[in-house]
Copies of this chain bind each other. A is one copy, B any other.
């Protein structure tokens, strides 16, 4: 089914939910304070609201339903169902309950922090940020506060790399820094010489990922860190995705001062169509005083909350995205040290196996002849030159077979990119099937490029004309705007 827009299902006088009667005298509002006209929300019975959203859900494709290896960089792994039950167990906790009434949840925070400290080699961890990008921002805020506290507020540059997530650049900019971006060298790695040229007294920090979205591990990472340290800057490791190196190598061991994890990547919390997520910031002892507050403390018998001395303040309300902290904690506890290493090794094996299969498809390549860790940014350049079919179109056509890939592979340095990341969750049979689908679509592209370009064919809707989305006269970011611009008599 292709569900109508919910407003089209409305009928006056219906309702999906009744509300308790006041049971007390009604309050009369002063003139102008009360709402004049009721909002034009849909009026529907409960079954009809439910049916609408259940149908929409069936028009969506979660990890649980498909071979979700095509969301490269996103680490779409299995989020165990039992962890959802755990997350629900804290649904009715209020974040400002007195500490004595939330010892269990505080203990989870505390234990989670200690485990992430061990995994990263850092000394303390904040679980407050609401996502990886928010954690990057928190790290930058700490970097800023650190330098300011040392009277080095003049450091106004942050260096990052082109293949690090755009949030590294964007958060630094938001926090007031000038951003210097290192381009990859001939091997697809950040250019050490470029860094050497970039660092100096204005350097506040280096924000770097390793392996970057290319999947290539930068062997010289410690040299990068050392170079920044030499000029008094801090080194910050974007470990959004640490899935391939859990238990193999740690941020602090390479000298980093700060790092962050995305709990919805490496630590399996569900992506939820785009959040809520959860981030974690790990810091070395020098940065501890600047952590966002509060953090959980433990006196040996009970847990409490404390605010670091020179805290950057609040990154978000309260302690963090607790349901996801609970899920990630349970996930680690289901695996342990040996299990985490098995996760990493299997993810890497899966990636190399899939790469082996994909590179056998005529027209597919993996730029730079390098080993890969957990993911690979591939290219359809060859196929595209031959057929005129673009990578995005191949991904859309693959959706007709119940899988797909995502093409928002900023930056667009690799031509006709597609990034696959099989994680540890998928079976060999899944990887074989995925590769077979890509091979099938590639052969379709050769046989009948226009057919592939016309995809999708068995999705809810057909190929979209995106023109109105960038035209202020036509765009419709809400239904009321659409009605006004496109449906009204004068429209």
Chain A interface (Cβ < 8 Å from any Cβ of B): 1, 9, 11, 14, 45-48, 50-51, 54-55, 58, 63-66, 78, 80-81, 402, 425-429
Interface pair A46/B78, CB less than 8 Å apart: yes
List 15 A-B pairs, Cβ < 8 Å.
A9-B429, A11-B427, A14-B427, A45-B425, A46-B78, A46-B81, A47-B78, A47-B426, A48-B427, A51-B65, A51-B66, A54-B64, A54-B65, A55-B65, A58-B58
The CA-CA distance from A9 to B428 in the complex, in Å, is 11
Interface pair B11/A47, CB less than 8 Å apart: no
Residues of chain B lying within 8 A (CB to CB) of residue A48: 427
Residues of chain B lying within 8 A (CB to CB) of residue A80: 46
Interface pair A64/B81, CB less than 8 Å apart: no
Closest to A55 in B: B65
Interface pair B429/A11, CB less than 8 Å apart: yes
Residues of chain B lying within 8 A (CB to CB) of residue A78: 46-47
Closest to A50 in B: B64
With A1-B402, A58-B58, A65-B55 given, is the CB distance from A81 to B427 under 8 Å? no
Interface pair A81/B11, CB less than 8 Å apart: no
Residues of chain B lying within 8 A (CB to CB) of residue A66: 51
Q: Separation in Å of the A13 CB from the closest CB of chain B?
A: 12
Interface pair A64/B45, CB less than 8 Å apart: no
Residues of chain B lying within 8 A (CB to CB) of residue A428: 11
The CA-CA distance from A419 to B55 in the complex, in Å, is 26
The CA-CA distance from A339 to B359 in the complex, in Å, is 65
Closest to A78 in B: B47
Q: Separation in Å of the A462 CB from the closest CB of chain B?
A: 16
Q: Separation in Å of the A199 CB from the closest CB of chain B?
A: 45
* Those 4 A-B pairs whose CB atoms lie nearest each other, nearest first: A47-B78, A54-B64, A47-B425, A1-B402
Residues of chain B lying within 8 A (CB to CB) of residue A402: 1
The CA-CA distance from A427 to B50 in the complex, in Å, is 14
Which of A47, A425, A427, A428 has the most CB atoms of chain B within a 10 A radius of its CB? A47
Residues of chain B lying within 8 A (CB to CB) of residue A425: 45, 47
Sample of 11 more A-B contacts, CB < 8 Å, known A9-B429, A11-B429:
A11-B427, A14-B427, A45-B425, A47-B63, A47-B64, A47-B425, A47-B426, A50-B64, A51-B66, A55-B65, A58-B65
Q: Separation in Å of the A12 CB from the closest CB of chain B?
A: 12
Residue of B14, B51, B54, B64 near A51 (CB, 8 A) is B64
Residues of chain B lying within 8 A (CB to CB) of residue A427: 11, 14, 45, 48
The CA-CA distance from A78 to B426 in the complex, in Å, is 37
Closest to A53 in B: B64
Residues of chain B lying within 8 A (CB to CB) of residue A51: 64-66
Q: Separation in Å of the A461 CB from the closest CB of chain B?
A: 16
The CA-CA distance from A64 to B48 in the complex, in Å, is 8
Q: Separation in Å of the A32 CB from the closest CB of chain B?
A: 37
The CA-CA distance from A176 to B78 in the complex, in Å, is 55
Q: Separation in Å of the A445 CB from the closest CB of chain B?
A: 23
Closest to A80 in B: B46
Which of A63, A65, A425 has the most CB atoms of chain B within a 10 A radius of its CB? A65
The CA-CA distance from A487 to B58 in the complex, in Å, is 34
The CA-CA distance from A51 to B14 in the complex, in Å, is 37
Residues of chain B lying within 8 A (CB to CB) of residue A429: 9, 11
Residues of chain B lying within 8 A (CB to CB) of residue A54: 64-65
The CA-CA distance from A1 to B65 in the complex, in Å, is 10
Residues of chain B lying within 8 A (CB to CB) of residue A47: 63-64, 78, 425-426
With A1-B402, A11-B427, A55-B65 given, is the CB distance from A81 to B50 under 8 Å? yes
The CA-CA distance from A400 to B422 in the complex, in Å, is 36
The CA-CA distance from A46 to B268 in the complex, in Å, is 14
The CA-CA distance from A429 to B428 in the complex, in Å, is 48
Residues of chain B lying within 8 A (CB to CB) of residue A81: 46, 50
Q: Separation in Å of the A61 CB from the closest CB of chain B?
A: 11
Q: Separation in Å of the A422 CB from the closest CB of chain B?
A: 12
The CA-CA distance from A80 to B50 in the complex, in Å, is 10
